[in-house]
Amino acid sequence: MSVHSIEEIRHSFSRSTDSNEIFDAFQSALLQNLRDIELYRGLFWNNALSPDELRLFGEKLSGVFPEISFEVFLWLGRVFEVTHSTHDNYELALHYFQRAALVQPDRPEPYVQAAHCYDADLNIPPLSVLVEFLRVGIDHVDDPSPLYHQLADLHELAGDQEQSDHYRRKANERTAPEGNPTEPA
């Protein structure tokens, strides 16, 4: 197998429609120990690749370079959220946001991004699954206020104003400056 230059790899990842060419470029990137997530983002956005091919590349990349697996999973979640939302298929997006949260549970991004996947008209991904995912995240992130805001929004979309108000109060409690309560006593 020939070694590709970084520019050749970048070009194959972002513009090629030939699966074999993309695979060869991917193998070359792995052999060269290229760990830059920016390089692989072009691969993940390549419209010529099927969801299964994207998953194959992402899983392989995270297995070879576990130190970038958070970014790989987060990026795959974003790609599936945008590219497959037209098929009402948010399961893959949610799956990869959950995988990112497993790698770095203290980071709020996977939880917040997962909440953005919700389609209230179709209830996909299921609201109960998203709410539970965010509730788990609250115990792990340093500042849960973004998760409280997302929970408030999700409950509002579901028509549960009581829970929405509850999470808004919790979010405001976390963001209010000390000595300056948000509600009168």
Convert the pLDDT of each residue in 53-67 to its tens digit: 999 999 999 999 999
In this predicted structure, the answer to whether residue 89 has a pLDDT above a threshold of 70 is: no
Q: Are residues 173 and 138 in contact, defined by beta-carbon separation less than 8 angstroms? A: no
Measured in whole angstroms, the distance separating CA 177 from the mean position of its chain's CA atoms is 30
Q: What is the pLDDT of residue 178?
A: 53
Burial zone of 31 (CB within 10 Å; 0-12 exposed, 13-18 middle, 19+ buried): exposed
Walk me through the domains of the chain, giving residue ranges and CATH numbers: 50-175 (1.25.40.10)
Convert the pLDDT of each residue in 121-180 to its tens digit: 777 888 999 999 999 999 999 999 999 999 999 999 889 999 999 999 999 986 655 544
pTM of the predicted protein model: 0.87
Residue 30's CB is within 10 A of a number of other CB atoms, namely 14
Q: What is the pLDDT of residue 120?
A: 78
Q: What is the pLDDT of residue 185?
A: 35
DSSP code for 174:
H
Q: Are residues 174 and 151 in contact, defined by beta-carbon separation less than 8 angstroms? A: no
